[in-house]
Amino acid sequence: MGRVTRPGVVSPEVVGLRRKHVPLRRCVVCGAQRPKAELTRIVRGAEGGLLVDAPPKAPGRGAYVCRAEACLEQAAKGRAISRALDRPVTDEAARRLRELAEPSPAGRPDAGP
């Protein structure tokens, strides 16, 4: 005879089949919805300036941008980021975004500091 379970109780076999939740965020430039790990975070810091948050850990309001070259270039121009974070893009943040937009030797933009 088969195993009887109560309604609403998950058997141990089913627990291993569950998928892990992947947080999604939307790019402020192109509007594409992607996993959070695939996006670059721009943060409005405590002093009011904008920072490119390489490991997304910094406190403050943030906006996400695709790592695609076109999206990073648009973000460096500043309009989408300025609108999302209610601050003008600083020269330092624009420079950092342009650096990320340049392809690295491996062919992908570098997400590191």
For residue range 3-52, list pLDDT tens digits in order.
666 676 666 666 667 788 999 999 999 999 999 999 999 998 877 788 88
| Mean pLDDT, the chain, integer | 81
Q: What are phi and psi of 51, to 5 degrees?
A: -130, 145
Spatial CA neighbour of 23 closest among 35, 33, 41, 32: 35
CA 19, CA 13: separation in Å to the nearest integer?
Answer: 13
User: What is the domain class of 22-101 according to CATH?
Assistant: alpha beta
Reported as type and span, the H/E element at residue 17 is none
> Structural domain boundaries of the chain?
22-101
First to last CA, the chain: 60
**Which is more confident, 58 or 110?**
58
Q: What are the residues whose beta carbons fall under 8 Å from the beta carbon of 55, sequence distance 6 or more?
A: 113
**DSSP code, position 36:** G
Please name the amino acid found at residue 67.
R
Cα R_g (the chain), whole angstroms: 20
